Chains A and B, each alone.
Chain A
């Protein structure tokens, strides 16, 4: 399991992945401590909880699970002294197609997560935490559980951790093969022992009503790992690595038609799509040209090679003007990707070359969403299945003239009309594939 290349690209800066795939590095606590582990937690317990949260805010850390919510802000929704129990649930469900970063952290550097989690627990007065790991990572569940016991034996967690008077228990909870458990309220239902039906919003944040209807933080695995590094290198220094709205580094997972797929880590906003595909990932297969990029996990809207976006930017005299931004020059960061109509999401970058049939590719994703809808909302349950049946029929030569229009209508009637963001996640591929590659869908409709 080594998707990380031995020599980092000059643009890379490995913080989260510093020890991943490093020769001689193991998941045990001695190795971790020998590499400077648990120093940030020692620092944290000498700080005021509010100072820790302020540092995370100042670091501009955004969640790495997909929605990109500012982490410090999320934590500050928890009132330290409200007399209620608080919980933290780590989202290690990692099931957005194209995303495979947490896998490496959980298997190879579990103490990094435990340290970040312990710091966040100390900052939010949380005494019980769960790490929810998808059951398709059976080894990871064992490795993380062992790491928890090691950390407890050394006094980094458990009763009166590091002599601070603070107690923290952490347990591992395994999923059972359902993608929807990645949605945070479904995750909580699942952890409560129920079907993973996402909860009706509001409240929008589990910080209001979460696990067992108590204030709860749900954070992605990678997000919590960053917390350790914020305390280690200082919030200002950490923030400076990234862009004004997005501090630190960000891991990226590249898959599909490139020479060197794998995991990479860059300062936020450091690479363009061109640099990522052609420099870092070694370009396309011999003789192939770029056709499309899905930049942020399978639900992110697809980008077509060669398109030029109109964005607002500062002109030479400082006023805002329309600018042309060619697709390859788009910077891989949250705000730029949003301004061109897609998203950074989970940073799962899928690359498609000119050999790919877009109806086929969309059908693959439609089948995924049809299979994974939890079934609570009619538009999502029925619509995802209809879209999948239609693209399958088009592929099998049974296309009808009205299919592209009907597909579009179905997708438009799911997004915005459902309990959870899966509704958007399953409509965006159909909407964007149709918008960007209309000729392929029209052709399949005529067949």
Chain B
């Protein structure tokens, strides 16, 4: 979607997808398993189901919000308000690999601002575009391969600067290491 359109929407995408139609029986079985972890209150499964949905579909669209809400006997707003509160969740597609560079003090002192800029350059993103949350995806390359964003302390300050790339933590990153790291991801 073009940027101007997105701004008009206050960072929200127009929901054209119907992820719910892609649901598989395995997916539903996993949902039942997750709900069983909360014998006292089904509502507790909200975050786990959002994670599960996002891991599976890449983001959570309106059909996802409605499906999760119905599954947990909630109203859709109970789920939507989580999507807009918790920075991890998003309502639009991000890159296949998300590069989350730590921005906080120990990492900043060790050069994380440079490192983030290098990551943006290496994947072809404008390093100055800011990411504002509320369910929107971090800046993403047009080919859909990469997103790069700053996140707050990743609890690995002793080996600063660090980045979470996909599920893996990369420590002691030098700006000069970045092109090789990105090349290995491609």
Contacts and interface: CB of A to CB of B under 8 A. Distances in A.
A261 B159 contact: yes
Contacts of B105: 97-98, 256, 298, 350, 361, 364-365, 368
A255 B154 CA distance: 13
A261 B157 contact: yes
B156 A368 contact: no
A177 B155 contact: no
Contacts of A196: 85-86
A114 interface: no
Interface string B71-95: 0100000100110011111000000
Contacts of B109: 256-257, 352, 356, 361
A265 interface: no
A350 B106 contact: yes
A289 to B, nearest CB: 16
A97 B50 CA distance: 26
B153 A173 contact: no
Contacts of A333: none
Contacts of B38: 171
* Interface range on chain B (Cβ under 8 Å from partner): 35 or more
Given A173-B47, A192-B43, A193-B41, A98 B152 contact: no
Contact of B158 (A174, A193, A261, A356): A261
A240 B29 CA distance: 52
B179 interface: no
Contacts of B136: none
A9 interface: no
A99 interface: yes
B45 interface: yes
Contact of A139 (B82, B158, B167): B167
A133 to B, nearest CB: 11
Contacts of A367: 103
B155 A175 contact: no
A12 interface: no
Interface string A425-442: 000000000000000000
B89 A1 contact: no
B109 to A, nearest CB: 6
Contacts of B164: 136
Interface string A224-263: 0000000000000000000000000000011111000111
Contacts of A303: none
Contacts of B51: 135, 174, 176
Nearest to B156: A100
Given A98-B106, A364-B105, A1 B169 contact: yes
Contacts of A193: 41, 43-47, 72, 78, 82
Closest 9 CB pairs of A and B: A176-B86, A193-B46, A177-B88, A255-B157, A193-B43, A255-B106, A177-B87, A176-B88, A97-B153
14 contacts: A3-B158, A98-B153, A103-B156, A176-B50, A177-B87, A179-B152, A179-B153, A191-B44, A192-B43, A193-B72, A195-B81, A261-B159, A263-B158, A350-B105
